[in-house]
Amino acid sequence: MVRIIRFLKKEIIESPKEERQLTEEFLSVCGTWEDDRTVEEQINDIYSARKSRKVQGEII
């Protein structure tokens, strides 16, 4: 029972602090992308690198 309480405490109570820190770290690198290609060239590279695959079955 104690292990469950510790787990829940860590996941529920302490997670927002970790999530906030992770968000701040992510946002600290926003806008730092450097590339000599134009936006159009970057977009063309992204589209040309995509691979299509046939998906069978129902998608939920």
DSSP-based three-state secondary structure for 36: coil
Residue 29 has, within 13 A of its CA and on its CB side, a CA count of 6
Beta-carbon contacts of 45 under 8 Å, excluding residues fewer than 6 positions away, are 37
Find the angle CA(48)-CA(51)-CA(37) to the nearest 5 degrees. 25
The pTM (predicted TM-score) of the whole model is: 0.36
- Which residue pairs from 44-47 have beta carbons closer than 8 angstroms and sit at least 24 positions apart in sequence? none
pLDDT digits (tens, 9 = 90+) for 4-48: 777 777 767 665 667 788 788 888 878 777 889 999 999 999 999
pLDDT digits (tens, 9 = 90+) for 19-28: 788 788 888 8
DSSP-based three-state secondary structure for 58: coil
